[in-house]
Structure 1
Amino acid sequence: MGGLREVVASFVVPGPSGVAIRAGLKGLAGQDETVLRQVGALLGSLASRDLKARCAAGLDHDSEQWARRKRALTGESSSRWAGSITKATHDQWALARRGQLAHMQSLRAGAETITYRLAQPIGAKGAKGRPGGYRSEREWFAKSRRLHVLQDRLEQERADWEAGRVRVVRGGKKLARDRHHLKAAGLTEAQWRSRWHAERWFLQADGESGKRFGNETIRITPVGEVSIKLPAPMADLANAPHGRYVLACRVRFHHRGEQWADRIASNRAVAYRIHYDVDRDRWYVTASWQNPLVQTVPLSAARAGGLVGVDMNADHLAAWRLDAHGNPLGTPRRFDYTLTGSAQHRDAQVRHALIRLLHWTVRHGLALAIEDLDFTAEKTREKHGRRKRFRKLISGMPTARLRARLVSMAAELGVTVVAVDPAFTSRWGTQHWQQPLTTTTRKPTRHDAAAVAIGRRALGCPIRRRTAPPPHDRSDRVRHRTVQARPDTPGREEPRPRIPGPRRRSVPPGRGAKAGNQCAHNRSGHTTEHEPWHQGSLPLSF
């Protein structure tokens, strides 16, 4: 047990901090699309120029430079458009810095793994969770060369990090590379250019509390009328007072439409983003806002009536209901999904599986327990070597998306989510729960057993079960039972510890003259009394 890492305590997952809903702009006139394209192209060029200036400033950027950039953009658009552009620029630069740091950590972990394995003898097996040596001299030589490549990349990334230099592509690096591989991407040059322009357009505005309908730049009224404040160079295109352009279509938010209507009715901030889907040839508008901080349910309250343990896998969610004492109830449930096809299809599969799980949980009035998974350091080829199939498996598991979707959807249904440490849940669940829960009519899988282990850890119960009674009787002939005590466990033959509280016997617990003295009990191999035996004065017969 000394080699196991310490298990992190379970905690209640806080609710989502923001909300985003989307609706289509149906019924746009030809003039409407022309105006949207021109405004997006103009603001996109300003956003590209501002991002270039921010990246050039690096770590020397300060509030004075930010004010100077915003004033320059205000003259070519408006103060509110300039504020939205500079905020988006800062967010993109900060995201690039976080990605740069994560890339450095990945390179460092890969270099350390290769260095360790190169120091091991060729063909040596791994032990205690550490990898062994490489299989052949050829692989050893190839990995030694790869080590130098990783170290060079790490030095370059470290130099960029210290200098505050980031590399960002508006429109996406993948789409930029597809320009040189159009045949492999299945695109023509015209199709690629249409995608490239659409991704680089900028049509988003931050919300403002206290302003009419929560936004002065892009405004949507309760009846669905959409109007845009045009930049100064395009004021001649306005069809409404105060330099605004009103679209001919009407917008209706079906999902969380009541929440959106309540916010704009009270003039609370709502941010909007208008974007164009090239594949579908449709325009969409996304409304987003932040939720106030909500007090989470205490962990003791989430455990009060039991909960549902959930084990996430590559193709399904395994769930089992547990009572407050950690005992499995009923039969396990399985919620399948497939992660093939387009991103929209994969996301729909995950949402469908989650909503079925949450509806089943709501019917029982329980909380959910799920592992706090993070595979950022577990899917590198340096850690798993030739196990390409396993690397592909864990890389395809949508841990971040599933976690975000689960938290958001559970908050809407009022379901509490408890996150637990994923250490040893699958191994101990299989070892201690799969066989005992197997009956003639029920054959749980190891994933079902892992769900039980996850639920017990969330409840604060030990995963490992008590040992079975002695094989020949229930007396103390083979000493007292312990919690999964192995033959080599120290102290397994010791008497039971004193437990305060009433006992069903005349002598209070721990106060008997022979308490804890195994030799004093009447059993084979032990003497009942230690004094010589004497005949009493009572006659043996009358």
Structure 2
Amino acid sequence: MGELRSLAAPFVASGPSGVAARTRLRELTPDDEMMLRLVGRHLGSLASKDLKARCRDGLSHSGQAWAVRKRELTPLSSSRWAGSITKATHDQWALARRGQWAHLQHLEAGIRTIEDRLSLPVGQKGTKKAPGGYRSAREWHAKSRRLRVLEDRLTAARADREAGIVHVVRGGKRLARTRHHLEAAQLTESAWRGRWEAERWFCQADGESGKRYGNETIRISPDGEVSIRLPAPLAHLANAPHGRYVLACRVAFAHRGTEWADRVAANRAIAYRIHYDAGRNRWYLTASWQIPPTPTLPIDAVLTHGVIGVDMNADHLAAWRLDIHGNPTGAPLRFCYDLTGTADHRDAQVRHALTRLLHWARMCGVQAIAVEDLDFGAEKTREKHGRRKRFRQLISGMPTGKLRARLASMADATGIAVIAVDPAYTSRWGGQYWQKPLTTKNRKTTRHDAAAVAIGRRAQGHPIRRRTAPPPPHRSDAVGHRTAQADRRVPGREGTRPRIPGPRTRSVSAGRGANAGNQNAQHRPGRSAEHETWQQDSHPLSP
């Protein structure tokens, strides 16, 4: 084994700083739907123009320019609508800049990989840590041409970043490209147009503490009445005083409804967003607010009742409970999910799996869950893994970011801490040192189950690799547990106990030495006939 990389210390992940709850707007009248469409279309056009102005300013943007844009939008909407639009514009521009930086890193990683492989002889085999040369001269030539393409893309991306230019599509680039592949997407032009317009609508308002019910623009009373402050050009369509429009439906939040009601009663800030799902023909309302982050406890405090190690895979979560000494207890559990289909379906599958995991943790009385601090952002490139398409699809399908965000939020609500550990060698050492010892006649331990044990032990600070326990002087456990682990400072603790030939005691009794079975090797007056060669004498001749 080569030199191992340094491992990061496990840490308790921080909780969320905000929450969101969504409900459906049911029993809307045709007039309500027409009003929501008008408001969303009008504000969406203003948001598109404001985003264009922000992208045009680039890096030369300042607070004064922000104030100018807000003053221009105020007569066409209202002061609060203009503030929500400009804030959403800045968030979208900042997100595009972060995506641009990630794209630059992706291109640089691909260029480095191609240059390293092109410098190697054709056909040279690689190692576990570094890929080898390309298989044929034809592939070498194709990759040399791709290297030039990536270099040109990198030059253009760097020039855009230095100039402050970002490329943003309101409504989504994927949906915009779907317009040219309607048959593959099984959509008609009118259906695509409905989705495109719905994605570009804008109907969201930031909350304000001290205002009535926490929001002056989109207001929801404690009994569920929804009223919207109409923009100035649509104020003549109001059905309530002060230019407001009251929807005929009533809303209620099943998730975090008590927290929402407490904030509404105290007039604390709550942000609302109304959006339309064109595929389902449904209207939804999302409420979000900030919460003070939960203070993180010391890692020793959350491990007082053991830990549950969780190994995340493409289609399931493998979990095993460990006691305070790092020993697996009980049987492992598997929480499956299906990541095919739409984004909402995948998100629901992840939430259901995490809900079952957290319920099991509460039943066990465990206060901590250990997971790997995974990030496959730089590990799923086409240049790094080459022909291993199935492996690239596997790691691309793992919901690492969504699972971490969901787990942190849901665990914080249940009072369970999340411990993030370094993912290095957990699957390899788990399969090497724990899979076979934990396999019984009635239970087949998988590599993922063994990796969950390795993750839990690393969170507890125990070594993952095991050594063979020395034989006790007798059968009882008076000398201690037979699988006791060696201390970290003991030299050679990871190796097996060397076999010493011959007897293990200084005094050897008769018949127990190394040559106990060889009677000829012992100094005795007689020898056994079994170790002698025998030959029959010839018969004497008769006289």
Measured against the shorter chain, the TM-score band is 0.7 to 0.9
User: How much has 1:493 moved relative to structure 2?
Assistant: 12
The equivalent of 2:371 in structure 1 is 370
* Alpha-carbon spacing, 1:93–1:492, altered in 2? closer, same or farther (3 Å): closer
- TM-score normalised according to structure 2 size: 0.87
The equivalent of 1:212 in structure 2 is 212
User: How much has 1:282 moved relative to structure 2?
Assistant: 1.2
* Alpha-carbon spacing, 1:110–1:492, altered in 2? closer, same or farther (3 Å): closer
The equivalent of 1:500 in structure 2 is none
What does the per-residue CA deviation read over 1:116-143, in whole Å, with 9 as the maximum and x for residues that have no partner?
Answer: 1111111212225111111111111111
**Pair 1:436 & 2:437 matched:** yes
Further displaced range: 18-27 or 180-189: 180-189
What does the per-residue CA deviation read over 1:38-69, in whole Å, with 9 as the maximum and x for residues that have no partner?
Answer: 11111111100000000000000001100000
SS of residue in 2 equivalent to 1:434: coil
Aligned partners of 2:322 and 2:328 also within 8 Å: yes
1: CA distance between counterparts of 2:184 and 2:452? 42
User: How much has 1:246 moved relative to structure 2?
Assistant: 0.6
1:478-489 correspondence runs (5 A): 483=486
User: How much has 1:193 moved relative to structure 2?
Assistant: 1.1
2: CA distance between counterparts of 1:336 and 1:522? 54
Say how many residue pairs are matched. Answer: 491
* Alpha-carbon spacing, 1:286–1:490, altered in 2? closer, same or farther (3 Å): closer
1:274-293 correspondence runs (5 A): 274-293=274-293
The equivalent of 1:237 in structure 2 is 237
* Alpha-carbon spacing, 1:468–1:364, altered in 2? closer, same or farther (3 Å): same
Given residue 34 of structure 1, which amino acid in structure 2 is its aligned partner?
Answer: M
1: CA distance between counterparts of 2:370 and 2:360? 14
* Alpha-carbon spacing, 1:321–1:229, altered in 2? closer, same or farther (3 Å): same
2: CA distance between counterparts of 1:245 and 1:127? 67
SS of residue in 1 equivalent to 2:434: helix
Regions of 4+ moved over 4 Å: 470-474, 481-485, 488-494, 521-524
The equivalent of 1:171 in structure 2 is 171
Aligned partners of 2:466 and 2:485 also within 8 Å: no
1: CA distance between counterparts of 2:76 and 2:150? 45
1: CA distance between counterparts of 2:428 and 2:248? 60
**Pair 1:265 & 2:265 matched:** yes
What does the per-residue CA deviation read over 1:337-379, in whole Å, with 9 as the maximum and x for residues that have no partner?
Answer: 2222332222222222111111110011111001111110111
- TM-score normalised according to structure 1 size: 0.87
1:250-399 correspondence runs (5 A): 250-366=250-366, 367-399=368-400
Q: CA RMSD in A?
A: 2.3
User: How much has 1:412 moved relative to structure 2?
Assistant: 1.4
Unaligned runs of 5+ in 2: 476-483, 498-503, 508-543
Given residue 430 of structure 1, which amino acid in structure 2 is its aligned partner?
Answer: G
* Alpha-carbon spacing, 1:482–1:29, altered in 2? closer, same or farther (3 Å): closer
User: How much has 1:491 moved relative to structure 2?
Assistant: 12
Unaligned runs of 5+ in 1: 475-480, 495-520, 525-542
**Pair 1:161 & 2:161 matched:** yes
What does the per-residue CA deviation read over 1:428-468, in whole Å, with 9 as the maximum and x for residues that have no partner?
Answer: 01111111112222221111110000000000111111223
What does the per-residue CA deviation read over 1:196-221, in whole Å, with 9 as the maximum and x for residues that have no partner?
Answer: 11111110000111111000000000
What does the per-residue CA deviation read over 1:216-244, in whole Å, with 9 as the maximum and x for residues that have no partner?
Answer: 00000000100001111111011111111
2: CA distance between counterparts of 1:368 and 1:339? 22
Aligned partners of 2:469 and 2:485 also within 8 Å: no
SS of residue in 2 equivalent to 1:219: strand
Q: Which has the larger radius of gyration?
A: 2
Given residue 375 of structure 1, which amino acid in structure 2 is its aligned partner?
Answer: F
Further displaced range: 354-363 or 83-92: 354-363
What does the per-residue CA deviation read over 1:148-178, in whole Å, with 9 as the maximum and x for residues that have no partner?
Answer: 1111101110000000000101111111112
1: CA distance between counterparts of 2:413 and 2:29? 36
* Alpha-carbon spacing, 1:493–1:142, altered in 2? closer, same or farther (3 Å): closer
